[in-house]
Amino acid sequence: MEENLEELERHKNELYRRLGEWGDFRRGTISVNYRKCGKAYCACAQAGHPGHGPQYLWNATIKGESRARNLRLGAELEKVGREVENYRRLIQWWDQWIEVNEKICQNRPVNRIEDEELEELKKKIKAEVWQEAQQEIGRLIARLLEAGHKRGGVDLEASESTIRASMHELGGRLLEGVLNGDKGDYRGSRIECGQGHQAEFVGYRNKRLQTVLAKIELKRAYYHCAVCRAGVIPKDVQLDVAGTCFSQPEADDGPGRRQGSLR
């Protein structure tokens, strides 16, 4: 049965968690040896006698150099035995780690939106905005006609302001659909935090953003770095709205100027 990306990510996280449970490890093997002393009158000289022992020897070949060490029976033998066993488990773990990461690489989609997905996104946004535009235009016409009837005629300046505000609101809905087309800019279960650590995906956190058109709801993938004790939101960085609830820098008195921050 083929695993999906979410299952593979869970498997990877479980492997990562397991790594810290084993404790110390070392390369090599432990062999059991019996030795005959060579004395003719010793019991080991008799036929069928295995020799003096057992003697336990740790040995390993590291960078072409052979290393060996006699181990005393008891606590020392048990300690080195655990360390050698942990190394064997580490090798098995490494094979699994490589395998699951290769599967993740195979299953993870590229960051850019593929042509077919882009076309579907265009159709979806177009349908949503078109439906909302029809409703908004209907409401707008009704407000203008009602206001003109009450005043006994059309107020040009008031009508212009009403139409502009309505079109800004409609433009905001269009902008919101386009910005949220990347599904929150999710980049996997872990990303670099920017300080050399790994930040883990926590969930999605929406943000109200004041743009020059209207207020919009921005969907954002939220990551947290346990070492830095800080959140990481790639989408805020990408859109240059980190630490602010305004889409534009402070330059004038327009509705989208940056003049505050989100905590």
Note the pLDDT of residue 251.
52
Q: How far apart are CA 86 and CA 91, in angstroms?
A: 9
Q: How far apart are CA 235 and CA 184, in angstroms?
A: 7
Residue 210: other Cβ atoms inside 10 A: 21
The answer to whether 208 and 241 have CB atoms below 8 angstroms apart is: no
Q: How far apart are CA 220 and CA 255, in angstroms?
A: 23
Please list the pLDDT of the chain residue by residue as tens digits (263 residues).
567 888 888 888 888 888 777 788 899 999 888 888 878 888 888 888 888 878 899 999 988 899 999 989 889 999 999 999 999 988 998 899 899 888 888 877 665 555 666 677 778 777 877 887 788 888 888 888 888 778 888 788 888 888 888 888 888 888 888 888 887 888 888 888 888 889 999 999 999 999 998 899 999 999 999 999 999 999 999 899 998 999 876 555 455 444 443 32
